[in-house]
Amino acid sequence: MLGRSKALMLAAMTHAVVIASPSAALAQSQGPTSPALPPLPPAARTQAPGDDVIYMNNGGIIRGTIIDAVPDAQARIQLVTGEIATIP
């Protein structure tokens, strides 16, 4: 019985580590790349702040305001909490 208890505990810990570890979101290029455009001034935005969404490969989503995005590299998004997350 002690062996089964240890196995269950190991499985629970492994599950917790997998859930808590960060996952990468990979951007896919859509053909030829054009030079990056400068960000729009706040008055020219058509969306309300916090309406941007990044869809992760693992099915998760991150909502906030995209600060900048570098194709095939990373994106930075300001979360509603004020934190800035860098997503590879």
Distance (Å, whole) CA 67 – CA 6: 46
In a 10 Å sphere around its CB, with 0-12 CB exposed, 13-18 middle and 19+ buried, how is residue 58 labelled? exposed
73 touches 81 (CB < 8 A): no
What is the tens place of the pLDDT at every residue in 6-57?
677 777 767 655 565 566 665 555 555 566 667 766 655 556 667 888 888 8
pLDDT value of position 88 = 86
Distance (Å, whole) CA 27 – CA 68: 13
CA distances from 46 to 13, 18, 76 (A): 45, 38, 19
The confidence band for 81, taking pLDDT boundaries of 50, 70 and 90, is confident
Its CATH architecture, for the domain 45-88, is Roll (2.30)
pLDDT of residue 21: 57
pLDDT, position 55: 87
pTM passes above 0.75: no
